[in-house]
Structure 1
Protein backbone atom coordinates (compact mmCIF):
# COMPACT_ATOMS: atom_id res chain seq x y z
CA UNK A 1 0.00 0.00 0.00
CA UNK A 2 1.29 3.43 -0.88
CA UNK A 3 0.66 6.46 1.32
CA UNK A 4 2.47 9.57 2.44
CA UNK A 5 2.02 8.62 6.09
CA UNK A 6 0.59 5.74 8.13
CA UNK A 7 -1.16 6.14 11.49
CA UNK A 8 -1.08 2.78 13.30
CA UNK A 9 -3.39 2.29 16.27
CA UNK A 10 -0.64 1.31 18.74
CA UNK A 11 2.56 2.72 17.24
CA UNK A 12 3.95 6.10 16.23
CA UNK A 13 3.01 7.72 12.94
CA UNK A 14 5.41 6.59 10.20
CA UNK A 15 6.14 7.06 6.53
CA UNK A 16 7.27 3.43 6.13
CA UNK A 17 4.95 0.76 7.55
CA UNK A 18 6.83 -2.27 6.19
CA UNK A 19 8.77 -3.14 9.35
CA UNK A 20 5.70 -2.90 11.58
CA UNK A 21 3.60 -4.89 9.09
CA UNK A 22 6.25 -7.63 8.95
CA UNK A 23 6.43 -7.71 12.77
CA UNK A 24 2.64 -8.07 12.98
CA UNK A 25 2.57 -10.82 10.35
CA UNK A 26 5.33 -12.75 12.14
CA UNK A 27 3.58 -12.39 15.50
CA UNK A 28 0.26 -13.51 14.01
CA UNK A 29 1.87 -16.61 12.48
CA UNK A 30 3.56 -17.43 15.80
CA UNK A 31 0.28 -17.06 17.68
CA UNK A 32 -1.55 -19.30 15.20
CA UNK A 33 1.17 -21.93 15.66
CA UNK A 34 0.91 -21.59 19.44
CA UNK A 35 -2.85 -22.18 19.32
CA UNK A 36 -2.31 -25.28 17.19
CA UNK A 37 0.17 -26.57 19.78
CA UNK A 38 -2.32 -25.92 22.59
CA UNK A 39 -4.94 -27.84 20.62
CA UNK A 40 -2.91 -31.04 20.39
CA UNK A 41 -5.53 -32.18 22.92
CA UNK A 42 -9.17 -31.00 22.81
CA UNK A 43 -9.78 -27.78 24.75
CA UNK A 44 -12.65 -25.41 25.43
CA UNK A 45 -12.34 -21.72 24.61
CA UNK A 46 -11.75 -21.00 28.30
CA UNK A 47 -8.90 -23.53 28.36
CA UNK A 48 -7.32 -21.95 25.28
CA UNK A 49 -7.66 -18.43 26.66
CA UNK A 50 -6.14 -19.46 30.00
CA UNK A 51 -3.22 -21.20 28.26
CA UNK A 52 -2.46 -18.17 26.09
CA UNK A 53 -2.73 -15.77 29.03
CA UNK A 54 -0.28 -17.94 30.93
CA UNK A 55 2.17 -18.07 28.03
CA UNK A 56 2.05 -14.33 27.38
CA UNK A 57 1.73 -13.16 30.99
CA UNK A 58 -1.65 -11.53 30.42
CA UNK A 59 -3.67 -10.66 33.51
CA UNK A 60 -7.32 -10.35 32.62
CA UNK A 61 -9.84 -7.86 33.90
CA UNK A 62 -13.38 -7.69 32.46
CA UNK A 63 -12.37 -5.39 29.58
CA UNK A 64 -9.29 -7.47 28.72
CA UNK A 65 -11.36 -10.66 28.89
CA UNK A 66 -13.68 -9.30 26.20
CA UNK A 67 -10.90 -7.82 24.04
CA UNK A 68 -8.46 -10.73 24.23
CA UNK A 69 -11.30 -13.25 24.07
CA UNK A 70 -12.61 -11.69 20.87
CA UNK A 71 -9.14 -11.86 19.34
CA UNK A 72 -8.71 -15.52 20.31
CA UNK A 73 -12.15 -16.35 18.88
CA UNK A 74 -11.14 -14.68 15.62
CA UNK A 75 -8.01 -16.84 15.46
CA UNK A 76 -10.08 -19.96 16.16
CA UNK A 77 -12.53 -19.02 13.43
CA UNK A 78 -9.70 -18.49 10.95
CA UNK A 79 -8.06 -21.82 11.82
CA UNK A 80 -11.40 -23.63 11.55
CA UNK A 81 -12.15 -22.03 8.18
CA UNK A 82 -8.81 -23.18 6.79
CA UNK A 83 -9.31 -26.70 8.17
CA UNK A 84 -6.44 -26.62 10.67
CA UNK A 85 -8.73 -27.15 13.65
CA UNK A 86 -12.06 -28.83 14.26
CA UNK A 87 -14.79 -28.30 16.81
CA UNK A 88 -17.58 -30.32 18.33
CA UNK A 89 -20.23 -29.81 20.97
CA UNK A 90 -20.40 -32.12 23.95
CA UNK A 91 -22.44 -31.67 27.13
CA UNK A 92 -23.24 -28.06 26.27
CA UNK A 93 -19.60 -27.11 25.66
CA UNK A 94 -17.75 -26.33 22.46
CA UNK A 95 -14.49 -28.27 22.18
CA UNK A 96 -11.68 -27.36 19.79
CA UNK A 97 -8.87 -29.62 18.58
CA UNK A 98 -6.15 -29.63 15.94
CA UNK A 99 -7.12 -31.37 12.72
CA UNK A 100 -5.29 -34.60 11.97
CA UNK A 101 -4.75 -33.36 8.39
CA UNK A 102 -3.13 -30.03 9.29
CA UNK A 103 0.24 -29.30 7.77
CA UNK A 104 3.13 -28.47 10.11
Structure 2
Protein backbone atom coordinates (compact mmCIF):
# COMPACT_ATOMS: atom_id res chain seq x y z
CA UNK A 1 0.00 0.00 0.00
CA UNK A 2 2.70 2.46 0.98
CA UNK A 3 4.78 1.38 -2.00
CA UNK A 4 1.89 2.07 -4.40
CA UNK A 5 1.46 5.58 -3.00
CA UNK A 6 5.17 6.21 -3.31
CA UNK A 7 5.25 5.07 -6.94
CA UNK A 8 2.15 7.12 -7.74
CA UNK A 9 3.79 10.18 -6.26
CA UNK A 10 7.02 9.57 -8.17
CA UNK A 11 5.20 9.10 -11.48
CA UNK A 12 3.03 12.16 -10.86
CA UNK A 13 6.00 14.34 -10.00
CA UNK A 14 7.91 13.00 -12.98
CA UNK A 15 5.13 13.96 -15.37
CA UNK A 16 4.66 17.34 -13.72
CA UNK A 17 8.37 18.05 -13.63
CA UNK A 18 8.98 17.27 -17.29
CA UNK A 19 6.43 19.62 -18.83
CA UNK A 20 4.13 22.42 -17.77
CA UNK A 21 0.35 22.12 -18.15
CA UNK A 22 0.53 24.54 -21.06
CA UNK A 23 3.15 22.44 -22.85
CA UNK A 24 1.11 19.28 -22.29
CA UNK A 25 -2.05 20.95 -23.60
CA UNK A 26 -0.21 22.31 -26.65
CA UNK A 27 1.23 18.89 -27.50
CA UNK A 28 -2.18 17.18 -27.45
CA UNK A 29 -4.25 19.96 -29.03
CA UNK A 30 -3.87 19.11 -32.73
CA UNK A 31 -4.73 15.45 -32.11
CA UNK A 32 -7.81 16.55 -30.14
CA UNK A 33 -8.99 18.82 -32.97
CA UNK A 34 -8.48 16.11 -35.60
CA UNK A 35 -10.34 13.55 -33.48
CA UNK A 36 -13.30 15.91 -33.07
CA UNK A 37 -13.30 16.80 -36.77
CA UNK A 38 -13.55 13.14 -37.80
CA UNK A 39 -16.69 12.73 -35.73
CA UNK A 40 -18.18 16.14 -36.56
CA UNK A 41 -17.66 15.80 -40.32
CA UNK A 42 -19.51 12.49 -40.23
CA UNK A 43 -22.36 13.69 -38.01
CA UNK A 44 -22.78 16.99 -39.86
CA UNK A 45 -22.33 15.37 -43.31
CA UNK A 46 -19.84 18.14 -44.01
CA UNK A 47 -16.35 17.14 -45.16
CA UNK A 48 -15.24 20.79 -45.14
CA UNK A 49 -16.06 21.46 -41.47
CA UNK A 50 -13.37 23.23 -39.47
CA UNK A 51 -12.70 23.33 -35.75
CA UNK A 52 -11.17 25.60 -33.16
CA UNK A 53 -10.46 25.11 -29.47
CA UNK A 54 -12.85 27.10 -27.28
CA UNK A 55 -11.43 25.96 -23.94
CA UNK A 56 -9.01 23.42 -22.53
CA UNK A 57 -7.97 22.10 -19.14
CA UNK A 58 -6.18 19.28 -17.37
CA UNK A 59 -8.67 17.05 -15.53
CA UNK A 60 -7.36 15.21 -12.49
CA UNK A 61 -8.24 11.52 -12.08
CA UNK A 62 -11.72 10.85 -10.77
CA UNK A 63 -10.41 7.93 -8.71
CA UNK A 64 -7.44 8.27 -6.42
CA UNK A 65 -6.77 6.24 -3.37
CA UNK A 66 -4.52 3.74 -1.71
CA UNK A 67 -5.20 1.01 -4.26
CA UNK A 68 -6.62 2.93 -7.21
CA UNK A 69 -4.86 5.52 -9.32
CA UNK A 70 -6.79 7.06 -12.20
CA UNK A 71 -5.42 8.71 -15.32
CA UNK A 72 -5.17 12.48 -15.71
CA UNK A 73 -6.75 13.77 -18.92
CA UNK A 74 -6.48 16.78 -21.19
CA UNK A 75 -9.98 17.96 -22.05
CA UNK A 76 -10.68 20.29 -24.99
CA UNK A 77 -13.97 21.92 -25.96
CA UNK A 78 -13.89 22.31 -29.74
CA UNK A 79 -16.30 24.41 -31.79
CA UNK A 80 -16.98 23.02 -35.26
CA UNK A 81 -18.51 24.98 -38.15
CA UNK A 82 -19.28 24.12 -41.76
CA UNK A 83 -22.05 23.68 -44.33
CA UNK A 84 -24.22 26.23 -42.52
CA UNK A 85 -24.07 24.26 -39.26
CA UNK A 86 -22.18 24.58 -36.00
CA UNK A 87 -21.79 22.44 -32.91
CA UNK A 88 -19.47 21.84 -29.98
CA UNK A 89 -17.69 18.65 -28.97
CA UNK A 90 -15.41 17.64 -26.14
CA UNK A 91 -12.17 15.81 -26.88
CA UNK A 92 -10.63 13.84 -24.03
CA UNK A 93 -6.99 12.76 -24.27
CA UNK A 94 -5.56 10.55 -21.50
CA UNK A 95 -2.13 11.90 -20.55
CA UNK A 96 0.57 9.46 -21.48
CA UNK A 97 -1.75 7.79 -23.97
CA UNK A 98 -1.56 7.76 -27.74
CA UNK A 99 -5.02 8.96 -28.70
CA UNK A 100 -8.13 10.96 -27.89
CA UNK A 101 -11.85 10.38 -28.15
CA UNK A 102 -14.57 12.85 -29.11
CA UNK A 103 -17.58 13.08 -26.85
CA UNK A 104 -20.80 14.99 -27.38
CA UNK A 105 -21.03 17.31 -24.35
CA UNK A 106 -24.82 16.91 -24.24
CA UNK A 107 -24.48 13.12 -23.83
CA UNK A 108 -21.37 12.49 -21.70
TM interval, short-chain normalised: under 0.3
Q: With structure 2 as the length reference, what TM-score do the two structures score?
A: 0.27
Whose strand proportion is higher, 1 or 2?
2
Whose helix proportion is higher, 1 or 2?
1
